[in-house]
Amino acid sequence: MKARDSERKRARPPRSSDGIEALLDQWVSELEQDAPRSTREPNRAEGERLEPLAPSPERPEPAPGSPHEPEAAEHPGAEKDHVEAVRTARAEIRVQGPLVTFREGAQVLFTREGGRLCHRGTVAVRGPCAPAREELLRLGVNEAQARALDFVLAWFGAPFDAVSGDSQSGENLRWGAWPLPGPALAQVLALWKQREPRAFQARLGRLGIDLQERAPEPPTLTVLDVRDGHLASGREALTLIADDLRLLAALAQAGRERGAQLALLEWLLEHALFPVLELSGQDSSPPAPPGGPFTSPRALAALLHVELRFGRRGASRLVVLAREEAGDTPGAGERAALRITRDMQATGRGREAAEMRCILSSPELSVAPA
């Protein structure tokens, strides 16, 4: 009987009166019993000798962007000194109501339109602060394509430094002469950073705005949240920008940089003009091929306008109409533009129809410059 009582006492969990050491012994014992199999000593025959492990050779630090680069989750947050540097850089920007002033004196003025913060822009597509026609031609377009793009951006686009955003949804952020949403904005900024890393760092990088690039995935915009040091990306990053006048103004100021402007124009050629020309079966490379529905400045401007207002589906519709108009007489692109203008008017798209009539009648788009 006494032996059984003694056994029960040993089986009972230790009480607080048994002391701290007993509690610790039990805790450690439970941890050892619950440990995963990979952490336990492997089975081996009795008397088998366990050979010591050879020291692991030191591995070189992986290069940034390489497949073996550690995931961001392995290094949560940002370095404390970097967070402080970004916080200091942002503090140098003064915000007085809707007016944002940078340390060098540059200013960005915002208005609120329909719940959105907007900077309408101050750097026109045509002007001393914008790329010259020769710079556009060096991007790989012919004269007719350059004139068409210049006309559409100047009349129906926006200034290079235009920006707008809604703090409730980062998806509504728009930037640039061809108001770009978040994913396209990230691609343009990545191109600018690649061409002019110092300018990018001076305008955006020092404020905690950067890009995460892991080929073959498209670049992702990132923003350092100085409140807790974590790196926001994607929609969260766009929301942080739209919620902070200083960061929204920094994007506007970036649009005043020549390198950023050229990166935007290059993106437009690669993602707007050239794809719709290929859709029509027309070679997009200069010099302009003879014939074809979209070789004149006017027809090209009509195609770009429809792409701007209605996206690829609208451009596809214009291409289909141009094929229907193709024949022995030139001007199939212009006739297709006239047909789609009537469709716009009939479906209540009066604004877009008026813009298209501007394209069809403007002397700026004559075959020979006036």
Burial class (CB in 10 A: 0-12, 13-18, 19+), 139: middle
- Cα(345)–Cα(351) distance, integer angstroms: 8
**What is the pLDDT confidence band of residue 18, given thresholds at 50, 70 and 90?**
very low
H or E element, residue 86: helix 80-91
Amino acid at 289: P
Q: Look up the pTM and report it.
A: 0.75
User: Mean pLDDT for the chain?
Assistant: 81
Sequence-distant (≥ 6) Cβ neighbours of residue 92 within 8 angstroms: 102, 103
Q: What is the DSSP code string of 28-68?
A: HHHHHHHS-GGGSPPP--TT---PPPPPPPPPPPPPTTSTT
User: When comparing pLDDT for 277 and 284, which is higher?
Assistant: 277
User: Tens digit of pLDDT for each residue in 310-320?
Assistant: 999 999 999 99
User: When comparing pLDDT for 131 and 4, which is higher?
Assistant: 131
Q: Which residues of 330-352 are buried (b: 16+ CB within 10 A; e: fewer)?
A: ebbbbbbbbbbbeebeeeebeeb
H or E element, residue 77: none
User: Tens digit of pLDDT for each residue in 124-177?
Assistant: 999 999 999 999 999 999 999 999 999 999 999 999 999 999 867 667 899 999
**What is the pLDDT confidence band of residue 63, given thresholds at 50, 70 and 90?**
very low
User: Tens digit of pLDDT for each residue in 95-136?
Assistant: 999 999 999 999 999 999 888 899 999 999 999 999 999 999
pLDDT, position 64: 45
Q: How many CB atoms lie within 10 A of CB 89?
A: 17
Structure tokens at 7: 């056994």
User: Tens digit of pLDDT for each residue in 211-231?
Assistant: 998 878 899 999 999 999 999
Query: How far are the Cα atoms of 122, 139, 142, 150 from residue 146, in angstroms, in the given order?
Result: 22, 10, 6, 6
Structure tokens at 74: 């392995």
> Are the C-beta atoms of residues 238 and 183 closer than 8 Å to each other?
no
Structure tokens at 146: 């350059």
